[in-house]
């Protein structure tokens, strides 16, 4: 700023002789040289150039940020599309597995029913086999009894020997009593 005295001194200057239209911001003893003026103007030009470079850097940075944000949004959109496709695939797989599970459950139920039927049939066949084996054992015992008991000789009807027992009569009578008891015991063991 100019002091009051310097401002008064300006009034006395010849406005027409001054190269700056009568106004100089410097006093008569502090007037800068041409080199100083050129240096200050070149520094202001350099400052303007630096400001211009800074502005260009900011614009490049903004553009770079915009492009980076655009790429980021594109990556996010691609990932979202991939996740949606994967979700759709998993839903289809879940539906297929559900159908397979339902079919397996139906098959298992049918197999359990068939298994119960076959078990009942096997039990009935086992009873029939047991009964057939008993019958076969009874038939074998009956044959053995018939083999052990030969046919009794026919006795003549009136020869007077009815009161006498021959030597073979006692032998035939004893096995006839013993064989039915053995047959009953064998039959009771079978049951």
Nearest-angstrom CA–CA distance, 123 and 117: 10
Residue owning tokens 């038939």: 139
Please give the pLDDT value at position 189: 55
* Residue 111 and residue 156 in contact, taking contact as beta carbons nearer than 8 Å: no
b (16+ CB within 10 A) / e for 44-78: eeeeeeeeeeeeeeeeeeeeeeeeeeeeeeeeeee
What is the reported pTM?
0.39
Instruction: Confirm whether 158 is domain-assigned.
Output: no
Instruction: Confirm whether 98 is domain-assigned.
Output: yes
Question: Dihedral through CA 156, CA 158, CA 160, CA 164, nearest 10?
Answer: 40
Q: How sure is the predictor about 174, in pLDDT bands with cuts at 50, 70 and 90?
A: very low
Tally of structural domains, the chain: 1
How much is the mean pLDDT over the chain? 76
What pLDDT digit, counting tens, does each position of 94-142 carry? 999 999 999 999 999 999 999 999 999 999 999 999 999 999 999 998 8
Q: Alpha helices, DSSP H only, in the chain?
A: 4-12, 34-148, 169-190
Instruction: Confirm whether 64 is domain-assigned.
Output: yes
Tokens of 47: 């400052």
Instruction: Confirm whether 113 is domain-assigned.
Output: yes
Instruction: Confirm whether 20 is domain-assigned.
Output: no
- Closest to 31 in 3D by CA, of 59, 10, 52: 10
Instruction: Please report, rounded to a whole number, the percentage of residues in the chain having pLDDT higher than 70.
Output: 57
Please give the pLDDT value at position 51: 87
Quick one: angle between helices 169-190 and 34-148, nearest 10?
160
Q: Which domain holds residue 61?
A: 53-122
Instruction: Confirm whether 142 is domain-assigned.
Output: no
Instruction: Confirm whether 106 is domain-assigned.
Output: yes
Q: How sure is the predictor about 176, in pLDDT bands with cuts at 50, 70 and 90?
A: very low
Nearest-angstrom CA–CA distance, 72 and 64: 12
Nearest-angstrom CA–CA distance, 183 and 32: 155
Nearest-angstrom CA–CA distance, 2 and 26: 8
Instruction: Confirm whether 94 is domain-assigned.
Output: yes
């Amino acid at each position: 700023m100019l002091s009051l005295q310097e401002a008064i001194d300006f009034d006395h200057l010849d406005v027409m002789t001054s190269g700056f239209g009568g106004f100089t911001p410097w006093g008569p003893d502090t007037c800068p040289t041409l080199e100083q003026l050129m240096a200050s103007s070149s520094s202001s030009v350099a400052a303007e150039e630096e400001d211009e470079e800074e502005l260009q850097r900011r614009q490049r940075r903004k553009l770079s940020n915009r492009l980076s944000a655009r790429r980021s949004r594109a990556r996010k959109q691609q990932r979202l599309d991939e996740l949606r496709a994967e979700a759709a695939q998993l839903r289809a797989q879940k539906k297929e597995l559900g159908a397979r599970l339902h079919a397996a459950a139906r098959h298992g139920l049918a197999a359990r029913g068939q298994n119960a039927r076959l078990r009942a049939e096997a039990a009935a066949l086992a009873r029939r086999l047991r009964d057939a084996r008993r019958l076969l054992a009874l038939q074998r015992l009956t044959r053995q009894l018939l083999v052990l008991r030969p046919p009794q000789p026919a006795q003549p009807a009136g020869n007077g020997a009815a009161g006498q027992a021959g030597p073979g009569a006692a032998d035939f009578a004893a096995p006839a009593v013993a064989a039915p008891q053995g047959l009953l015991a064998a039959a009771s063991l079978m049951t």
